[in-house]
Structure 1
């Protein structure tokens, strides 16, 4: 059984939360140090550039998510879900702002971030201009599944970021937490406004297959171009690329570990909260305090 779209509550004993798991817009600033943009990850420059490549997709991707949900917001019949959709939009806007600043650090360091960002905006603009209204929302729920699972991996296996530069680590943890917090919103908007049935299952499954076929080639292409432009990665040579591959598919296996949950998306009865990891949100308040204190010390 899937979780109803209006049910954003979880038992305190399960989640560590006593209130609703409803997204909250948090206006946080991170300002990670520009002189660490190429080596902030504890696993070295190649893993750093892999994570940087992911960041390059966020400003344009999150704008698509915002537009897709906003286009249906007036059609949402459930006031709780409409409130969650508004908060979802606010969270994604904050993510986009922070990643634009993050990505500018890459450009300032001589990496081809601006060129790759423009490519992403152009690619998603073609999707939005040449598909039916429901397609961007179907693509959004597919990609939101990815971002929620990737966030889950970072939080359930903190050793994957432990020892990294603190401001970058804090920013990625914040993004991961909010991806989990709002992971069902776009999905519930899709079901409430478009429907739930065989046709809808085919559309969302097809969107996931197409999104997967585009997303990962783009990510690894971006990684390749970023690593080629980074002197530290060039100095590492093949050893650095093997370290990135091991990080994702060996140990710790960042991408390998999410495969079982990823495949669950194709179940007819799928709902994002079937993986009830709301207990991970217990660290949100502490992280917000950390981020605000770190920002205050620099201003």
Structure 2
């Protein structure tokens, strides 16, 4: 077993468990990894094996990350000095580092869309303005509550991508590797913001009401924005225009029909509204076993490009 895999196993063991509401919850210590992916710009509109419409759906998701991850960073950082648990404070610092790396790589990824004539900059600016408005108009605790809601989404999407490799198999390897890295780290740090919320704001009815309201608001905003971004990206992409209605139907099947990767997330999404919810109730730390190999492959690919 490699050193990093050993670390994962160690941090998953009871010796590093923190006090969660349920004894079977698992704590995994996240690690900041400075990786570069450099996906090829000439594949930005057709990198996914399922075709251009699924490609633009994934691209639309990528457009949400730079501003979203900045909100996550700011929300956790605003409470970091109040965290009483030194292990959780260490995890919060690693969470901030991981999200900063995700933001950097998605900014570079999103720039490829602009270079290809897609409306990425306009859509990215919309996201920044919206999230800046939310941060300015809500209490300090709400951006953190929104963060734990959206982190639940990203962890579920990451789980889906890793649990069903056929979702990405056959896609252009640099894009696929980048999405898998992001998925792995979203699972690795999926409970950090939640634990910060519980330690700094508390458990109980207030926790449940605020985080449930934040999830309802996040859901009401997230999917219409994703749908709008996808529509604008697909309208600007020649391959999607040529695919016509069939392309949109193919995406609907991918997301909601069969295989229906987004539809499959619904039961775990609903679990968030349980009073006793904790992210590690879905114990999927086993998916992190591929981290070592992915890091090695990413570093080798980057060295080859250079």
- TM-score normalised to the size of structure 2? 0.92
Q: Distance in 2 between matches of 1:8 and 1:225?
A: 43
Aligned match of 2:196: 189
Q: Distance in 2 between matches of 1:281 and 1:229?
A: 37
Aligned match of 2:38: 31
Which residues in structure 2 correspond to 1:235-254 (within 5 Å)? 235-254=242-261
1:100 is displaced (CA, Å) by 0.1
Deviations 1:79-123 (A, max 9, x none): 000000000000000000000000000000000000000000000
Aligned match of 1:3: none
CA contact (8 A) 2:118 2:236 kept: yes
Aligned partner of 1:173 among 158, 174, 180:
180
Aligned match of 2:13: 10
Q: Distance in 1 between matches of 2:249 and 2:219?
A: 23
Aligned match of 2:152: 145
Aligned match of 2:21: none
Which residues in structure 2 correspond to 1:53-92 (within 5 Å)? 53-92=60-99
Instruction: Flag structure 1 segments of 5+ consecutive residues without an equivalent.
Output: 1-6, 13-18
Q: Distance in 1 between matches of 2:81 and 2:203?
A: 19
Moved >2 Å (runs of 4+): 7-12
- Is residue 2:234 matched to residue 1:231? no
- Do the aligned partners of residues 176 and 240 (structure 1) sit closer, same or farther apart at CA in structure 2, a change above 3 Å counting? same
Aligned match of 2:218: 211
Q: Distance in 2 between matches of 1:194 and 1:122?
A: 27
Task: Report how many residues are paired.
Answer: 287
Q: Which moved more, 1:140-149 or 1:250-259?
A: 250-259
Query: What secondary structure sits across from 2:211 in the alignment?
Result: helix
Q: Distance in 2 between matches of 1:257 and 1:9?
A: 26
Aligned partner of 1:108 among 101, 109, 115:
115
Aligned match of 2:171: 164
Aligned partner of 1:272 among 275, 279, 298:
279
1:9 is displaced (CA, Å) by 2.8
